[in-house]
Structure 1
Amino acid sequence: MPVKTIERRPRLLLWLVALASEAIFLFRLTVPTKPVFDEVHYLPAARALLALSGPANIEHPLLAKELIAAAMWLFGDTPFGWRFASTLAGAATVAAVFALTHLLTGRVRAALLATAFALLGFTIYIQARIAMLDTFLVAFLMWGVVLLAGAMRDGSVARWSAGSVLMGLATACKWAAAPYVAAAGVTFLLMRRKRPSRWPGLGTVPALALLGGLSVAAYFLTFAPAFFYAGDALTLRGLPHFQWDMYLRQTQKLPPHTYQSTWWTWPLLIRPIWYLYEPVDGAQRGILLLGNPAVMWGGLIAVAACYHGWVKTGAARLLAPAALWTFSVAIFAIIPKSLGFYYYYYPSSVLLCVVLAVALDHWRVALGRWIELYLLLVFALWLYFLPVLSAEPLANPAAFHRWTWFDSWV
């Protein structure tokens, strides 16, 4: 099929993006063969769900662990089974980046540019190959944003309802998604006030009721397996208490951690995390959770440019991604957690790919060939860091010095 024909069919391109992403994430998925980083917490929790033996890892909701468990049921309690569901979530996230950028710009090339940043930005690649909750949170969150934003554009009740459900499912992975539900409600009110004619079939109260009701219902339905535990089974009466217990565990004072960091350091790449650095599978290997410096630092310039462009032109397509990224970072300045880690920045790092693509597309005429050179830089850095993104064999235990540009990266 000719390239121009494909470009005229963004839905087909969306599926191709998802399939290509899945193929990339599946390659060497079983390396390393031992649990990595927080897999040591979530794999036992998934096994408990498979056996319905009783509560485990009760500081977080169940959905992400249920999805990990489902893949383990299909493919076995093996490294492939542990991580397969994450690859699907990662591919869905990349596809959502394409969809959101296309929704904002109406241009396939801008959407493909955002897709390239997402695939080469390090963070999705790493999170799509590890059994962690954040991977699933972001997949549901991004598609929730896509559907809700689409509904705000065309007034579709079906999209609004589906997006509301996805926001509830994102929250059922980790509570960090809950503020986005409130943000969606506020955004709807602002959009409704500005352009009421776009919502002829749904009033303000029904829309907010759908958003709140469907997201809450979807959230609580994911607790269904806990009612069938062999020991300490959940009950309807105990469900509210379980939420309170999660809150207490989320807000408890924790001891200092080697990789702890504060929210304002994440956009600057001050303290990334080594998910793995040790001899395993017959070789020294490492996995460094770090955003691609060209994307992460360049994205900050894009955020500022989008705000500047919005002030000058009033273009909502410039404001929306910049404001969403800003919100995604700001919530961690408010959430009452005693420790922060760079992987909390994962949703923001994904949104930054959209901001960057929207900004480059908006100023594409002025930038010209500089966009291509910038993309080459992004790709070159991906190749440079690939050995410590994919746990390739390293020369020796001191090999990490090649990739730790600053002392804080060690």
Structure 2
Amino acid sequence: MLARLKALRTRPYLVALLLGLAAQTLFSVHIDRPSRIMFDEVHYVPAARALLDLEGPRNIEHPLLGKELIGAGIMIFGDNPIGWRAFTSLAGTATVLAAFAFVWLLLGSMRPALVAAALTALNQTLYIQARTAMLDVFLGAFLLWALVVMLWAMRGTPGQVKRRWTGAAVLLGLAVGTKWAAIPYVALAGLAFILLRLRDARLAKRPLLSALSGKGQPHWPGLATIPGLLLLGTVSIATYFLTFLPAFFYQQAPLTLAGLIPLQREMYALQTQVLQPHTYQSDWWSWPLMLRPIWYFYEWDQGAQRGVLLIGNPVIMWGGLLAVLACLWAWLRSRAIRPLAVALLWIASLAIYIVIPKSLGFYYYYHLSGLFLCLVVPVAFHHFDRGRDKGREEWFAFAALVAFVYFYPIIAASPLRDSQGFAYWMWFNSWR
């Protein structure tokens, strides 16, 4: 048995398959609970139905891709809770696998990669989004896989690098085609590409202008900097616009090429409009502290009182903040670039919401940041453990599992004792 477990360390594809099966099972069990539309499904399920019937524009403040994927689930599994949420559950599984692949490529070690996947699956916000017909789970899946493919593209022959880089650009375009919140990540990807090239030139004691060349580069060999940036931009933009293809076939007010850019302006106006105050609104600084979770559902359903509270796993969300500080300390102390990179991912994901023009914020905007914490934690443990296999990260993952089991009844719409049954889990008044 021990020999078989050791063999798995050199077979990441088999491990990924097992992880995928486990994650999909977790996200699929009782996915039809609640049996009715909950929270923002009220916007996206009707929009997906309209897309299937090609009726006409609906929910135009967001691009089409996420609603197209929800519609695909309805087309395959029917217009029911399973159909609404089928593809979101697949996106949740894809997110778990992306976390595994990212840490595996970054560190080349199975232990932290498995911990990253486990924490991602136990991250309660992913669990809930994977079982809710909303857009954010697709956004996270596409963005994480874009990061994975960019990381994969850092190594390989020049021909491989270009193909993988193009694949990353396509995934970024699909992320933007899901939700405009992905746009800053396209810019950040280009910025990271430039900064890493400049760092490589400095470490090699070459002129900084050599960073523009694709020759002799330790990362993305054969890909010159300016052509690489142009490829990233043009492919991601082209992919984004291709996601609007169904709109050209609407029965009412079909989209035209001349109307494609004006539509973007209309979407921007809707995205930046000043909205009325909302019960569940919250500020960006409160999200890491989990001060204001969101009740996606709290009603009598299928013969019982049920609830779905969008709340993060406290072990991951609060413990992850310490891991961010640890990664920053690792860089200050020893200039460790990998811990710094994942810490900056989390910092940038939160900083975006300080800048973008949104009149209201909600805790589910923190979804991507929560995913990045699941990468930060194992990277921090790996760095400070220094290969001594003390197993501290496994204990952290076990604590996250205990918290997940504790919160399970109010994240999985399980039957509650009565209408006040939720009070058991309300640690703070702001959680009510």
Using the size of structure 2 for normalisation, the TM-score is 0.93
Q: Who is 1:159 aligned against? A: 164
Aligned with 2:196 (options 163, 176, 191): 191
Residues 159-210 of structure 1, C-alpha deviations (whole Å, 9 max, x = no match): 1110010001000000000000000101111112223513442211110111
Taking the TM superposition and a 5 Å limit, the aligned residue runs for 1:349-368 are: 349-364=370-385, 368=390
TM-superposed deviation, 1:372:
3.8
Is 1:409 equivalent to 2:409 in the alignment? no
In 2, Cα distance between equivalents of 1:376 and 1:222:
41
In 2, Cα distance between equivalents of 1:201 and 1:371:
38
TM-superposed deviation, 1:374:
2.7
TM-superposed deviation, 1:373:
3.3
SS in 2 for 1:405: coil
Aligned with 2:144 (options 142, 145, 161): 142
Q: Specify the code of the residue in structure 1 equivalent to 2:98.
A: A
In 1, Cα distance between equivalents of 2:264 and 2:186:
17
Taking the TM superposition and a 5 Å limit, the aligned residue runs for 1:86-235 are: 86-154=88-156, 156-195=161-200, 196=211, 197-198=217-218, 199-235=220-256
Is 1:270 equivalent to 2:275 in the alignment? no
Residues 236-283 of structure 1, C-alpha deviations (whole Å, 9 max, x = no match): 000001000000000000000000001110001111111111111111
SS in 1 for 2:117: helix
Change in Cα spacing, 1:48 to 1:317, as seen in structure 2 (3 Å) is: same
Aligned with 1:57 (options 53, 56, 59): 59
Q: Who is 2:276 aligned against? A: 255
SS in 2 for 1:114: helix
Q: Is the 8 A contact 1:54 1:229 kept in 2?
A: yes
Aligned with 1:385 (options 399, 407, 427): 407
Tell me whether 310-319 or 334-343 shows the greater mean CA deviation: 310-319
TM-superposed deviation, 1:357:
1.0
In 1, Cα distance between equivalents of 2:223 and 2:103:
26
In 1, Cα distance between equivalents of 2:375 and 2:221:
30
In 2, Cα distance between equivalents of 1:113 and 1:125:
16
Is 1:46 equivalent to 2:48 in the alignment? yes
In 2, Cα distance between equivalents of 1:367 and 1:290:
32
| Count of residues paired in the alignment | 410
In 1, Cα distance between equivalents of 2:315 and 2:423:
20
Q: Is the 8 A contact 2:146 2:169 kept in 1?
A: yes
TM-superposed deviation, 1:371:
3.5
TM-superposed deviation, 1:15:
2.2
TM-superposed deviation, 1:369:
5.0
RMSD over aligned Cα, in angstroms?
Answer: 1.4
In 2, Cα distance between equivalents of 1:321 and 1:40:
35
In 2, Cα distance between equivalents of 1:19 and 1:54:
37
Q: Who is 1:301 aligned against? A: 322
In 1, Cα distance between equivalents of 2:395 and 2:9:
23
Q: Specify the code of the residue in structure 1 equivalent to 2:152.
A: G
Q: Specify the code of the residue in structure 2 equivalent to 1:173.
A: T
In 1, Cα distance between equivalents of 2:398 and 2:248:
52
Change in Cα spacing, 1:369 to 1:63, as seen in structure 2 (3 Å) is: closer
In 2, Cα distance between equivalents of 1:392 and 1:180:
36
SS in 2 for 1:145: helix
Q: Is the 8 A contact 1:275 1:289 kept in 2?
A: yes
Aligned with 1:395 (options 417, 421, 425): 417
Is 1:243 equivalent to 2:243 in the alignment? no
Change in Cα spacing, 1:200 to 1:368, as seen in structure 2 (3 Å) is: closer
Q: Who is 1:24 aligned against? A: 26
TM-superposed deviation, 1:331:
0.1
Change in Cα spacing, 1:219 to 1:369, as seen in structure 2 (3 Å) is: closer
TM-superposed deviation, 1:367:
9.1
Residues 328-368 of structure 1, C-alpha deviations (whole Å, 9 max, x = no match): 00000001000000000001101100001111122236893
In 1, Cα distance between equivalents of 2:389 and 2:319:
14
Is 1:75 equivalent to 2:77 in the alignment? yes
SS in 1 for 2:406: helix
Is 1:84 equivalent to 2:89 in the alignment? no
Q: Who is 2:203 aligned against? A: none
In 1, Cα distance between equivalents of 2:12 and 2:335:
27
In 2, Cα distance between equivalents of 1:390 and 1:223:
34
Q: Is the 8 A contact 1:284 1:393 kept in 2?
A: yes
Tell me whether 154-163 or 261-270 shows the greater mean CA deviation: 154-163
TM-superposed deviation, 1:14:
1.7
Is 1:342 equivalent to 2:347 in the alignment? no
Q: Is the 8 A contact 2:115 2:393 kept in 1?
A: no
Q: Is the 8 A contact 2:63 2:178 kept in 1?
A: yes
In 1, Cα distance between equivalents of 2:14 and 2:316:
26
Q: Is the 8 A contact 2:155 2:221 kept in 1?
A: no
